[in-house]
Chain A
Amino acid sequence: SQTIHQWPATLVQPVGSPLSLECTVEGTSNPNLYWYRQAAGRGLQLLFYSVGIGQISSEVPQNLSASRPQDRQFILSSKKLLLSDSGFYLCAWTTQGVEAFFGQGTRLTVV
């Protein structure tokens, strides 16, 4: 069966520090991969999606970047975190079906 791993679960980082969040999918090949962010008390916003290795599309301009070095690995990064980057980050995947499956999320607090 397919599973998605996302880590770390929680992270507290100072302003100006770098960020790397990782997501891996098991049990499927060539998935579409997504990074969403949920700000406190708000809905989810799509940040990036990828339809293949090295293919990244950004939905909103921001302080973050994404990379897909392997078929089932998706990484969210920042060179210098801002306070406004705090939130709950969710990785998701889809394949032939229309529904998305989500990881457990990373709660990032920038202090």
Chain B
Amino acid sequence: GNSVTQMEGPVTLSEEAFLTINCTYTATGYPSLFWYVQYPGEGLQLLLKATKADDKGSNKGFEATYRKETTSFHLEKGSVQVSDSAVYFCALSGGYNKLIFGAGTRLAVHP
């Protein structure tokens, strides 16, 4: 069946450091891929998406590229800020647009 595996956290970085959060998936066919972000006490917000192989999703300085050959969708940001501290979820879309999530990675950015 479909599944998503993302690196365990927490990830602790200093402000302006480079961020990578790894995400790999297992799926039949070619699902759409997403990164969602959850700030403390809130629901999930869509951060970026990619709907086909080699697509690059980007938003707020974050990027992720849909790599079919490595079944990956790693999240990157060149320079993180304290305000980026949150939990990040990688997800894929299955039938009926049901989302299958990874376990989430908590990011803490310190000044």
Q: A32-B96, A43-B101, A51-B96 are known contacts. Are A102 and B43 too (CB-CB below 8 A)?
A: yes
Q: 1/0 per residue B82-111: CB within 8 Å of A? A: 000000010001001111111110000000
Q: How far is the CB of A57 from chain B (nearest CB, A)?
A: 8
Q: Of A45, A98, A100, A104, which contacts B42 at CB under 8 A?
A: A104
B97 touches A103 (CB 8 A): no
Considering only residues 39-79 of chain B, those with a C-beta below 8 Å from chain A are 41-46, 49, 51
Q: How far is the CB of A99 from chain B (nearest CB, A)?
A: 5
Chain B residues, Cβ within 8 Å of A105: 42-43
B46 touches A44 (CB 8 A): no
Chain B residues, Cβ within 8 Å of A43: 89, 101-104
Q: Does A34 contact B (CB under 8 A)?
A: yes
Q: Of B41, B46, B49, B89, which contacts A101 at CB under 8 A?
A: B46
Chain A residues, Cβ within 8 Å of B102: 43
Residue of B nearest to A57 (CB): B96
Q: How far is the CB of A107 from chain B (nearest CB, A)?
A: 8
B96 touches A103 (CB 8 A): no
Q: How far is the CB of B34 from chain A (nearest CB, A)?
A: 6
B43 touches A103 (CB 8 A): yes
Residue of A nearest to B97 (CB): A94
Chain A residues, Cβ within 8 Å of B99: 34, 36, 44, 46, 92, 100
Chain A residues, Cβ within 8 Å of B24: none
Name 5 interchain pairs, CB-CB below 8 A, sorted by A.
A42-B103, A43-B89, A90-B43, A94-B97, A105-B43
